[in-house]
């Protein structure tokens, strides 16, 4: 198993970041999808062996009523009601194609679809998720889904999406994935802080990081790659500390 450690975003200068870490999950791709020109410039500014993953454009995962839409400078065209919630609509698939092209330029390894708590479990939402991921499925990227809200009470429903080869993204210090996809032996965790479902101001303790390493190590015979992405205020230091701890344990760490 290769252990890939990074942050959700780059909280320090690029040069400092990539001196310490070799993986990043880009966040600007969620708020306002950058151009292919920006993607080409960014890719050429970082080490050639750096691993890039991206957070999916919010118009695919979040409805137009979401507060995060207000941060978009360039809103999509078409019927706004047809965006978000992984709906298998013309608008969402057009947005996916734009995201796909930018991600190809970035040489992204994975795309993370984080759905909001308002996209909770229902038969309709499950059908939409299955149809959406079935339609965009390809060998170009790992498709990863971080469901929030009531999906956590319906692991059997999440498992139906995982059966498509979609990676179930979780915070490993709160819960574990319902299954590992047969087609993609991948573990992907996003760490949002403890003492609450999301607590960005949390600083991970040595004990927390040791526990995290223990949980990740349990999957060493089940997965080929484990992505550990920190998403808190202190993410750069926490990720660097975790990477050092993992190296000391003898794991193959990137």
- Reported pTM: 0.97
Nearest to 54 by CA among 92, 128, 104: 104
pLDDT in tens, 10-37: 999 999 999 999 999 999 999 999 999 9
CATH topology of domain 2-253: TIM Barrel (3.20.20)
Tell me what pLDDT residue 165 has. 97
Write down the pLDDT at residue 183.
Answer: 86
Q: Residue 72 has what pLDDT?
A: 92
| Best CA proximity match to 136, nearest among 102, 99, 82 | 99
In this prediction, residue 71 carries a pLDDT of: 87
Give the domain ranges of the chain.
Answer: 2-253
DSSP class per residue in 20-73: H-SEEEESHHHHSPPPHHHHHHHHHHS-TT-EEEEEPPHHHHS-TTSGGGGG-S
Please identify every stretch of the chain with a pLDDT value under 70, giving residue numbers as ranges: none
């Amino acid at each position: 198993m290769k252990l890939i450690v990074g942050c959700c975003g780059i909280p320090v200068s690029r040069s400092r970041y990539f001196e310490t870490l070799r993986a990043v999950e880009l966040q600007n791709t969620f708020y306002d999808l950058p151009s292919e020109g920006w993607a080409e410039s960014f890719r050429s500014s970082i080490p050639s062996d750096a691993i890039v993953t991206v957070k999916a454009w919010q118009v695919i995962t979040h409805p137009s009523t979401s507060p995060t839409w207000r941060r978009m400078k360039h809103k999509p065209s078409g019927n706004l009601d047809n965006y978000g919630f992984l709906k298998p609509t013309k608008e969402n698939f057009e947005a996916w194609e734009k995201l796909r092209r930018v991600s190809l330029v970035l040489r992204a390894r994975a795309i993370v679809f984080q759905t909001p708590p308002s996209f909770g479990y229902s038969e309709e939402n499950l059908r939409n998720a299955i149809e959406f991921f079935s339609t965009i499925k390809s060998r170009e990227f790992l498709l990863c889904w971080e469901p929030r809200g009531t999906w956590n009470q319906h692991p059997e429903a999440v498992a139906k999406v995982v059966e498509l080869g979609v990676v179930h993204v979780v915070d490993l210090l709160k819960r574990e994935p319902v299954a590992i996809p047969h087609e993609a032996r991948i573990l992907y965790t996003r760490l949002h802080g403890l003492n609450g479902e999301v607590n960005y101001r949390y600083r991970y303790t040595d004990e927390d990081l040791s526990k995290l390493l223990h949980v990740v190590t349990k999957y060493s015979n089940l997965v080929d790659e484990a992505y550990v992405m920190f998403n808190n205020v202190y993410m750069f230091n926490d990720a660097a500390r975790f990477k050092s701890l993992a190296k000391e344990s003898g794991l193959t760490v990137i």
